[in-house]
Structure 1
Amino acid sequence: MFTPHTPENVTKRLGFLCAFGACTGVSLGPLLGAVADIQPSIIPTAFLGSCAIFGSLSLAALYAERRSMLFLGGFLISGLNMLVMMLFFNIFLGSYMVFQLDVYGGLILFCGFVLFDTQLIVERFNNGDDDYVRHSLDLFLDFINIFRRLLVILASKVCLLL
């Protein structure tokens, strides 16, 4: 994101995006391993659920009235800040309820980010910003956060049944 968007930097920026994606995949490894130990079928279920959520919300944002979701930006950033502060305090509290609030609240929050980011990308493109690497990063982060939270939710539900 800090490398200027110029034709000379496209390969470097795509390389950074691929490296970021690889690091994200590596950081998902322990969670995927833990979930696979519980029940391996959770992983494709969470992936397909994330695809369905992401795809349907992206389509909803694309077909909604132009700029109708951009008002969500302030609420979403405020909610994200509250989640981060809550998680910081939960380091000392160790509350299961705060953890659950983070998982479910974060899922709702990142669903809102899919709506917001999709419309923001369309609006930026209409205003001449064709930085597809940055736009890809925004949507990638939304998808990964939804996927992580769905993994945790499904794994916790299966653990309750066992």
Structure 2
Amino acid sequence: METFSSFFQSQSTSRSGWRYESLKNFRQISPVVQNHLKLVYLSLGCALTASAVGVYLHLLWNIGGILTTLACMGSIVWLLSTPTYEERKRVGLLMAAALFEGASIGPLIGLAIEMDPSILISGFVGTAIAFGCFSAAAMLAKRREYLYLGGLLSSGLSILFWLHFASSIFGGSTALFGFELYFGLLLFVGYIVVDTQEIIERAHLGDLDYVKHSLTLFTDFVAVFVRILIIMLKNAAEKEEKKRKRRV
């Protein structure tokens, strides 16, 4: 946790460096890597669009559930096992995985729309802003500066998994659920930074698999979005409950 706090402190204390001098750090990214990043983020935008289509299909026909989750996982495994030269097939599998992922989180989004549509808009905009800011921070930072966080994030993810596993067996309290929610949000925000720098570093070493890299960022985006949306829904429900008690 100290490492996370030092990361945020370093960002806040270096505000004076966010000038033209900081933008010069983009020069350490070669034109080839810059073009690669354009493809990655373009593919990410297409994947998010496909995910929105999946949400819409769920709202129409209520298709989201275990089957779409399994289909999403199957599409991802198929994509990762497909050779890189089959580019069209891999892009299609990426879009399919995104569509199934959108259908899988459709019930949560449907709940948000039913409660208050503005929550959904605020959650998406907040996620997009956070994703953009932390991605930019990773690009403007020195190469490999935050890659050391990868080991800590993996350990944190393991802790989160075992907490969720224990709560599903022995039952979990509201406090434990809140901890899992906020701790998971912190973890995946950290992954945005680490994964962005890792993608840049891999591209410098010749790994220009933009489909796989966009899948990584798509997973981070959805993980952050889902947690932000749950937090906002939880807060809205608590406010509504307080209002109801006051009326009574």
Within 5 Å, give how 1:68-147 maps onto structure 2. 68-91=145-168, 92-147=170-225
Aligned position for 1:13: 90
Aligned position for 2:11: none
Q: Deviations over 1:100-154 (max 9, x none)?
A: 1111001100000000000000000000000000000000000000000010011
Q: Identify which of 82, 103, 109 aligns with 1:3.
A: 82
Moved more, 124-133 or 30-39: 30-39
Aligned position for 1:60: 137
**SS of the residue 2:81 aligns to:** coil
The structure that has the greater radius of gyration is 2
Question: Residue type of the partner of 1:3?
Answer: T
Higher relative contact order (CA 8 A, sep 6+): 1
Quote how far apart the aligned CAs of 1:18 are.
0.5
**Separation of aligned partners in 2, 1:155 and 1:105:** 17
Query: Percent same amino acid at aligned positions?
Result: 43
1:35 aligned to 2:107?
Answer: no
**Separation of aligned partners in 2, 1:14 and 1:55:** 23
CA RMSD of aligned residues (A): 0.8
Q: Which runs of 5+ in 2 are unaligned?
A: 1-79, 241-248
Quote how far apart the aligned CAs of 1:94 are.
2.5
Q: Is the 8 A contact 1:103 1:153 kept in 2?
A: yes
Q: Deviations over 1:40-63 (max 9, x none)?
A: 110010000000000000000000
TM-score w.r.t. length of structure 2: 0.63
**Separation of aligned partners in 2, 1:150 and 1:15:** 28
Quote how far apart the aligned CAs of 1:161 are.
0.9
**SS of the residue 1:41 aligns to:** helix
Q: Is the 8 A contact 1:35 1:42 kept in 2?
A: yes
